[in-house]
Chain A
Amino acid sequence: MNWFAVRSIYGFEMARFWRTALQSIVAPVIATSLYFVVFGAAIGSRVASVEGVSYGAFIVPGLIMLSLLTQSIANASFGIYFPRFAGTIYEILSAPVSPLEIVLGYAGAAASKSILIGLIILATSALFVPLRIEHPVFMVVFLLLTAVTFSLFGFLIGLWADGFEKLQLVPLLVVTPLTFLGGSFYSIEMLPPFWRVVSLANPVVYLISGFRWAFFGRSDVSVGVSFGMAFLFLALCLAGVTWIFRTGYRLKS
């Protein structure tokens, strides 16, 4: 195992994160604060509680998950796409590194960044609403699982994209709508029966539901199913990355 290479890729990616700290850290904090102002003040004042949890606190897991998904995908996809775009990928391809080490470096850094942002959002939320975490271990496991899975997904997007437009296509047109419709700001129990069934086809529902369970002990779907879906998506992403490195798709001619 070439640990120095993993450390180099990881450190290089994290350095970029710190170099753009204003954009990386301050922007999510401001966005979270705005969500609390808009949703907390405008809607929260009309909704006393959801499943026994104040509305302000209820949306916290969804907000963290929203950032976790979008940041994991954005960081990982940009991390691998930019060297392809700039041509510096030649160095990665000609170095004595295995596909696993490359993924560990890039996806590991992307997951670390999104987890950091998730924790910052959690801390920011605590300034606005009283929080409790009933299952902290599961909260951490869910956080890690989701960050790693979606970083791998972002890595796949970064390898698949052949332009900046495609890089934004999946996050903007697929992931963000699914996250908003996945129960970030409401419980799917609040939906009419038809839409409740339709929502179950949205994989993000299971992630948000499971994550919310870790906080408040309440979930829209069973926790076991949530974990199962998270692991299934992780397996799919791992299979996709393995296939790309085996075939050299978009990497080698």
Chain B
Amino acid sequence: MQPIISITNLSKVYGTGLKALTDINLDIAKGEIFALLGPNGAGKTTLISIVCGIVTASEGRILADGHDITKDYRAARSLIGLVPQELTTDAFETVWATTSFSRGLFGLKPDPAHIERVLRDLSLWDKKDSRIMTLSGGMKRRVLIAKALSHEPKILFLDEPTAGVDVALRQDMWRLVRGLRAKGVTIILTTHYIDEAEEMADRVGVIRKGEIILVEDKVELMRKLGKKQLTLQLDAPLGQVPSALAAHHLELSGDGRELVYTYDTKGDAGLTVLLADLAAADIRFRDLHTSQSSLEDIFVDLVKERA
């Protein structure tokens, strides 16, 4: 299947000499939710800005649904909606006026019914005649989303969409994003909240110092790089891990009452062997629980590894 966004050998060096992106190659599949993760200054916003036409690339080529974003910018940009990271709004305008303006800017004829639908979906309808300067930060964020959706984009970039918003709004946004995906919109989001990517994304890309260091299906990534831990609460405390169990690399807690076994998530047969070895060594336990590393743990490990 042809990707809806195809980035080839993209590099960006700013006038100051700062190398923001180095030889980026990335394909985004139609209809997916792609999360781009990376520490501050990694190049996430530069990458998005180049695709959207705000920043000029130094090298490379980007196609949006087959349209070159430089040579065929009209067709390419018509497909793309952007919700920027900063709350940049026309403070003195009303919600209705600024949203309608965005639709016109993207070359679409006025459609009050569509604007109303968007504002209602974002719980902004009762604020439609309010000046943006009178709205809260969360409401302003909704206005930016409404502006991006006013021209019915097929590709939506969300740059830190839930930064600084409350839990309820975050949940609303997640719902909205899922709804958009169900309608066939491709979504690329950057976020600092790894749990957000874990919750929403189909695929995850990690960018560090201007280089894409990993692109992987989220479930596959967690299976490959994720770890599980089995914690056994012992009936009787141990002074040290018995030598018969040395092969399992167990960790004993300070008080000798817990044994921790770490294994990967690829379906480890060692667990069965461990339980058999525990029984053979006559080590009894009264409770057990397992935990799995989150995407956040994997992300931190990845970024640390490459540092």
Contacts and interface: CB of A to CB of B under 8 A. Distances in A.
Contacts of B92: 16, 19
Contacts of A23: none
B106 A96 contact: yes
A94 B56 contact: no
A97 B88 CA distance: 20
Interface stretch (B78-86, B192-200, B205-213, B292-300): B78-86
Contacts of B93: 12
Nearest to B91: A86
A19 B94 CA distance: 12
Main secondary structure of the interface of A (DSSP, over half): helix
Interface stretch (B96-104, B217-225, B248-256): B96-104
B74 A8 contact: no
Contact of A96 (B78, B100, B147): B78
B68 to A, nearest CB: 13
A88 B99 CA distance: 13
Interface stretch (B47-55, B119-127, B172-180, B237-245): B47-55
A24 B103 CA distance: 27
A88 B104 contact: no
Contacts of B14: 253
A235 interface: no
A11 B100 CA distance: 11
A95 B102 CA distance: 9
Contacts of B56: 248, 252-253
A40 B76 CA distance: 59
Contacts of A93: 52-54
A95 B80 CA distance: 9
B15 A5 contact: no
B77 interface: yes
B118 to A, nearest CB: 16
Contacts of A88: 88-90
B104 A8 contact: yes
A12 B101 contact: yes
A5 B53 contact: no
A224 interface: no
A238 B88 CA distance: 30
B54 A96 contact: no
Interface string A73-97: 0000000000000111011111111
Interface in A238-253: 248, 252-253
B286 interface: no
Given A90-B54, A253-B15, A253-B55, A5 B104 contact: yes
B53 A12 contact: no
30 contacts: A2-B74, A4-B104, A4-B105, A4-B107, A4-B109, A5-B104, A5-B106, A8-B101, A8-B103, A8-B104, A8-B105, A11-B104, A12-B93, A12-B97, A15-B97, A19-B92, A86-B88, A86-B89, A87-B86, A87-B88, A90-B84, A90-B88, A91-B147, A93-B53, A94-B52, A94-B53, A95-B105, A252-B56, A253-B14, A253-B56
Interface of B: 14-15, 52-56, 73-78, 80, 82, 84, 86, 88-93, 97, 100-109, 147
Q: Give the top 3 A-B pairs by smallest Cβ distance, nearest first.
A: A8-B104, A87-B88, A96-B74
